[in-house]
Amino acid sequence: MASNPLLIYLDGKLVPESEAKVSVFDHGLLYGDGCFEGIRIYSGRVFRLTEHLVRLYESARSICLTIPITIEEMEKATVETVAANNLQDGYIRLVITRGVGSLGLNPYQCPKPGIIIIASGITLYPKEKYETGLNLITCATRRPPPAALSPQVKSLNYLNNIMAKIECIQAGCEEGIMLNEQGYVAECTGDNVFVIKNGQVYTPTIASGALNGITRQAVMEVMRDMGLTVHEVTMSRHEIYTADECFLTGTAAEVIPAVQYDRRLIGDGKPGKVTAEVIKNFKVLANSTGTPVPYNS
């Protein structure tokens, strides 16, 4: 259980949630200028923390944002924030904003980036959907092409994903498939997508517009250990319509089955056996590895 009140890391200090505030002149608020990571805590360990921090610093570098502390200092701040809230299982949101500046786009007028670390919980989908599976639609909102903004940058500007999520909710679905400008499958609004067909596993290529997700990578390792062959391919909607099984992966989502797409049943319309085995093995990996949290005894 988290302590009360929730303690937030804000620019080098742990402060109560009620005091964790940013300036209205912060460019993260004004322009979505910044980057973030979502990270899971399992059984007192932070899952794939190093990989998440490397990606965070790469996102920042890509947008010419210099994080004012080292990766080692960020790791220490992250686990200490988890410990301060006494979280054994939960979710971390690590945010880097451009910082306070003028009412203009120029990022060089923001002298000091902001650092926010929130360690709490998250529920992306109803619990029962992990047993029964998600219904998906095709979103009309397309993923931006890499020439506009690389999908590998986890930017604070998430409006593209939010507009697609609104479509899903308005259609009465929990999640949707986002296509790239060529009409191929990129990813979901916040997850990577996998399909299983004739014992083979397929997932869209990174070049198709998918984020190279940390959970995506972990699940691919799990499946290879299971003896499954994983193919990264250019995928159309047809491959999902005709798949035997389908599941989504993401830090917040973890691994969750999908059983219907555009009102077409996937396989027999129930979570598949391979998907169930993947979920079981991922849980074992997640709960047995990671960076230990230094809780106070």
Q: What is the mean pLDDT of residues 192-220?
A: 97
The answer to whether the CB of 109 falls within 8 A of the CB of 101 is yes
Is 273 catalytic? The answer is no
Residue with tokens 């054994």: 88
Whether the per-residue pLDDT at 1 is higher than 80: the answer is no
pLDDT of residue 107: 97
Span 121-143, average pLDDT = 95
What interhelical angle do 49-62 and 214-225 show, nearest 10? 140
DSSP string over 90-129: EEEEEEEE--B--SSS-GGG--S-EEEEEEE----S-TTH
Token representation of residue 141: 């909102």
pTM equals 0.95
Catalytic residue among 112, 154, 197, 280: 154
CA distance 244 to 77: 44
pLDDT tens figures, 15-37: 999 999 999 999 999 999 999 99
pLDDT tens digit sequence for 186-203: 999 999 999 999 999 999
Q: What is the mean pLDDT of the chain?
A: 96
Residues in the chain: 297
Q: What is the DSSP string of 135-189?
A: EEEE-SSPPPPTTTS-TTS-BS--HHHHHHHHHHHHTT-SEEEEE-TTS-EEEES
pLDDT band at 4 (very low <50, low <70, confident <90, very high): confident
- What are the tens digits of pLDDT across the range 269-283? 999 999 999 999 999
User: What confidence tens digit (pLDDT) does each residue in 38-82 have?
Assistant: 999 999 999 999 999 999 999 999 999 999 999 999 999 999 999
Dist. CA 160–CA 142, nearest whole Å: 8
Decide: residue 14, CB within 10 A, 0-12 exposed, 13-18 middle, 19+ buried: middle
